[in-house]
Chain A
Amino acid sequence: DGGITQSPKYLFRKEGQNVTLSCEQNLNHDAMYWYRQDPGQGLRLIYYSQIVNDFQKGDIAEGYSVSREKKESFPLTVTSAQKNPTAFYLCASTNRGDLENIQYFGAGTRLSVL
């Protein structure tokens, strides 16, 4: 079954702690994305990667970091510099050959601060 797997589903962060959210896809998609969603708001782009070993900042990259060492994996680290990390984090992927750029999502990770 092809899809995007995010883990964990729920995550709690202590003050000053870095946490890493996992995103794995077996769709053979080239591009992957991380979004943040706050209640009542749309999705805001944190980082995206179009190919392995390359990634770009989105609109709200401060306090976050990513890596793209494998095509299948695009983990997101929420660093201690992100002062308001409580949100719903969504990972998405798309095939660069898809002219429409339809994005498909994992089930998301809910991050809360202890």
Chain B
Amino acid sequence: EAGVAQSPRYKIIEKRQSVAFWCNPISGHATLYWYQQILGQGPKLLIQFQNNGVVDDSQLPKDRFSAERLKGVDSTLKIQPAKLEDSAVYLCASTPGQGIYNEQFFGPGTRLTVL
């Protein structure tokens, strides 16, 4: 079974530029999560999708971050414009169904450096 795919693996941009990350969850997984992991901290949930609907985006900085999952499969996370404090690893995870009783499967992450 293929795992969660993310691209790119690394990205370096200057502040005020825009960047987009892509995630393809495990086939058939209905729930998709985006996390931000700043160096030395645990992952912080940014947004959770159930199919193509948003379940929780309470911690997403909506003035600069956006995410979509238009067809309920793959997802993109965008930052526009980026700030220095956005430097982090962005993790995507998926689960087969809704609810916390399902194990989350994580992708390798995208390491973003904002200069």
A and B part of one assembly: no
Which A residues have a C-beta under 8 Å from some C-beta of B?
A: none
Which B residues have a C-beta under 8 Å from some C-beta of A?
A: none
